[in-house]
Amino acid sequence: MDTQEIMDLDQKFVMQTYGRQPLALSHGKGAEVWDVEGNSYIDCFAGIAVNNVGHAHPKVALSICHQAQRMIHCSNIYYTQEQVELAQLLTQVSPHDRVFFANSGAEANEGAIKLARKYTGKGEIITADNSFHGRTLATVTATGQEKYKAPFKPLPAGFKHVPYGDIAALSQAISEDTAAVLLEPIQGEGGIIIPPDGYLKDVENLCRQKDILLIFDEVQTGFGRTGEMFASEISGVKPDITTVAKAMAGGYPMGAILANERIATGFEPGDHGSTFGGNPLGCAAAKATIEVILDENLVHKSKEMGSYFQSRLKELQAKHSIIKEVRGQGMLIGVELTIECGKLVDEARKKGLLVNCTAGNVLRLAPPLVISQEQIDKAVAILDEALVSIS
């Protein structure tokens, strides 16, 4: 099928919930993808910060292939070697002791909310304005963006929102019923918003003073994306709970709640569960993916190449007044424009570069961590041409 045939079938049979671009992808390798017509693109979106180890990494692909021939799924009524090996690896690379496996970031956040309420016996969760935590009813309520919530009222009770970066507002919002504070260490969907210096550490200290839990949503920032394995390491914060997904299994649907030993005891048998969470295939994919990140030193590469990418983008800023700011950490970069960025995304795609627009006017760049300097230079050149085209 060609692109138009695929688009026509989508219009006929698929629920129309996505604002898709007119592009049908066929396959990828590293930081490059191809459409069904054979055109190639530098992928600077990585499936929304998912493909950290690149497309079709041979170790991940081989692990999935081998596991699929042995066992794809079994119930969590039984033990599997793949699950316990992945759990052990996650505790080694994170600041946590225990793992609960889910299938997505929204599920991980949903479970973290349940765990916080169960452990503390309190019901209130404080989150930030402009945040994004998922699309289930609870996580969309936790999300601090009205546009995602408006069509789905009435929403669950028990959530408060405060300005991101305002420690005084957070302190004032805490009540006797507050169970936890849930924050993204960098707001991704909200426009690649970097917290003020010292803010996250102040939040941690406040949570300790008030005896409430601190949950970091690292669904987008985890597994090397920001130049550290987890973004919490940038500020030296040790949250009680961290939620992860996206890049965890190299593209296979996988999520997890990571918690400290003391907090993890809040869940008892029967309190929470998942049919597919932690299935052998997903665990094999995730273990291989994390091993690739470690073996190929992709956390360091994310920091190094991310710094280079930002420096090249700041050169564009000096040339194009339409660019208001370049910001980010590692390979999570935002280019804020003075106009909406939809046209720039379209022009870049036509010229062979895949990028994303978020928060209306912020170009979100989240390439695979394996992207080369040559590919970054080519991406910047394409953006330069695209900026000229829309000016």
The model's pLDDT over 301-354, given as tens digits with 9 standing for 90+, comes to 999 999 999 999 999 999 999 999 999 999 999 999 999 999 999 999 999 999
pLDDT more than 90, % of the chain? 100
Structure confidence at residue 216 (pLDDT): 98
- Residue 107, token pair as written in the block: 């599920």
Over residues 181-205, the mean pLDDT reads 98
Point out the residues that are catalytic.
132, 217, 246
Q: Give 86-104 pLDDT, tens digit per residue.
A: 999 999 999 999 999 999 9
The CA-based angle 261-265-266, given to 5 degrees, is: 125
Over residues 55-73, the mean pLDDT reads 98
- Residue 45, token pair as written in the block: 């979106």
Structure confidence at residue 7 (pLDDT): 98
Which residue matches tokens 């929204």? 106
* Residue 41 pLDDT greater than 90, yes or no: yes
Q: Give 116-147 pLDDT, tens digit per residue.
A: 999 999 999 999 999 999 999 999 999 999 99
What residues does CATH 3.90.1150.10 cover in the chain?
3-53+297-390
* Residue 211 pLDDT greater than 90, yes or no: yes
Structure confidence at residue 275 (pLDDT): 97
Average pLDDT of the residues of the chain: 97
What residues does CATH 3.40.640.10 cover in the chain?
58-295
Structure confidence at residue 134 (pLDDT): 98
The answer to whether the CB of 182 falls within 8 A of the CB of 109 is: yes
What is the CATH topology of the domain spanning 58-295?
Aspartate Aminotransferase; domain 2 (3.40.640)
Structure confidence at residue 391 (pLDDT): 83
Structure confidence at residue 330 (pLDDT): 98
- Residue 349, token pair as written in the block: 């795609």
CA torsion sign for 256, 226, 190, 165 is positive
Task: Using alpha carbons, list the distances in angstroms from residue 8 to 1, 21, 122, 167, 178.
Answer: 11, 13, 49, 50, 49
CA gap 42, 232 in Å, rounded? 29
What is the CATH topology of the domain spanning 3-53+297-390?
Aspartate Aminotransferase, domain 1 (3.90.1150)
